[in-house]
């Protein structure tokens, strides 16, 4: 899979792309990441990327021409999508990451200043994503979030492919608690069931923990979850209604 990151600050990505899972994904050929400086596509000697907004007001707006030139300079794969990172985009989620991971190419456009000329969005952007209801200095941190969340879903990227399947939101619920050695730490013990060797009981305990944790912490996610017959049985044991809004 190919990622193209369009930015005014390419140095922002130097360290993150050389660390951890993203680094390994590049080394094993799962992803091919290219960072592009949009200033390289300006036509004036000052490499001007912004101008004052029509209609007045504070701040500056990113100009359409250099951004579009940068987009059009890219080699494009058969299944390619240009994604603009913006606070007024649709919320980024696990489902969206899954959708992006099925593509051949994702172009991540990082905005700055007061935003980009609306004509870029109208004519050259396929999807607009937000990573939360807050404003960042630029789209670079959001681009890293989207890249990381999408990359780890690709086959062969994680050490164990089931790791991604068991993450929070992968099955519509939050993840269950995790423990490792030692069995007791500062008077806090690992639940006995996890050391019982009884895989059926362990699976049941973990699912119960997912249900309770989601119900308490993310009632919005709990409301959207789809429960099978086994889940409904566990919810009855927990005295939680599948239609409950949660207690958080």
Residues of the chain with CATH 3.40.1280.10: 2-151
User: What is residue 248's predicted lDDT score, i.e. its pLDDT?
Assistant: 42
Residue pLDDT tens, the chain, 248 long? 999 999 999 999 999 999 999 999 999 999 999 999 999 999 999 999 999 999 999 999 999 999 999 999 999 999 999 999 999 999 999 999 999 999 999 999 999 999 999 999 999 999 999 999 999 999 999 999 999 999 999 999 997 665 665 566 778 899 999 999 999 999 999 999 999 999 999 999 999 999 999 999 999 999 999 999 999 999 999 999 998 865 44
Give the DSSP per-residue string, the chain.
-EEEEEES-GGGGTTGGGSHHHHHHHHTTS-EEEEEEGGGG--STT---EEPPTT--SS-EE-HHHHHHHHHHS---SSEEEEEEEEEEEEP-HHHHHHHHTSSEEEEEEP-TT-B-HHHHHHH-SEEEESSSS--SSSHHHHHHHHHHHHTTSTTSSSSTHHHHTSTTTTSSPPPP---SSSEETTEEPPGGGGS--HHHHHHHHHHHHHHHHHHH-HHHHHH----HHHHHHHHHTT--TT-----
CB 207 within 8 A of CB 176: yes
Q: Are 88 and 130 in contact (CB under 8 A)?
A: yes
State the virtual CA torsion across 182, 206, 153, 137 in degrees, nearest 10.
-80
HSE, side-chain direction, 13 A CA sphere, residue 174: 19
Q: What is the 3-state secondary structure (H, E, C) of 188-234?
A: EECCHHHHCCCHHHHHHHHHHHHHHHHHHHCHHHHHHCCCCHHHHHH
pLDDT at 164: 60
pTM value is 0.89
pLDDT, position 229:
97
- Indicate which residues carry an active-site annotation: 87, 114, 152, 167
Q: For the domain bounded by 168-248, which CATH number is listed?
A: 1.10.1270.20
CATH 1.10.1270.20 residue window(s) in the chain: 168-248
CATH superfamily for domain 2-151 = SPOUT methyltransferase, trefoil knot domain (3.40.1280.10)
* 24, 157 Cβ separation under 8 angstroms: yes
């Amino acid at each position: 899979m190919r990622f193209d990151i369009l930015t005014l600050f390419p140095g922002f990505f130097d360290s993150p792309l050389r660390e951890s899972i993203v680094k390994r994904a590049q080394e094993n050929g799962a992803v091919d990441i290219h960072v592009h400086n949009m200033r390289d596509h300006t036509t004036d000697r000052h490499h001007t990327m912004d101008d004052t907004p029509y209609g007045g007001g504070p701040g500056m707006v990113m100009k359409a021409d250099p951004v579009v030139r940068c987009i059009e300079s890219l080699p494009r794969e058969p299944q390619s999508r240009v994604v603009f990172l913006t606070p007024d985009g649709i919320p980024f989620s696990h489902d969206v990451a899954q959708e992006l991971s099925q593509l051949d190419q994702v172009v991540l456009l990082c905005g700055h200043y007061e935003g980009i000329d609306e004509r870029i969005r109208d004519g050259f952007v396929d999807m607009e994503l937000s990573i939360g209801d807050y404003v960042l200095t630029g789209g670079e941190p959001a681009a890293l979030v989207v890249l990381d969340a999408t990359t780890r879903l690709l086959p062969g990227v994680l050490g164990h492919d089931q790791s991604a399947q068991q993450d929070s939101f992968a099955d519509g619920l939050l993840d269950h608690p995790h423990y490792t050695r030692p069995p007791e730490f500062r008077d806090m013990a690992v639940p006995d069931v996890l050391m019982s060797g009884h895989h059926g009981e362990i699976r049941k305990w973990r699912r119960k923990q997912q249900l309770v944790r989601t119900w308490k912490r993310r009632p919005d996610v709990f409301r959207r979850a789809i429960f099978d017959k086994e889940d409904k049985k566990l919810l009855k044991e927990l005295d939680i209604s599948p239609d409950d809004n949660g207690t958080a």
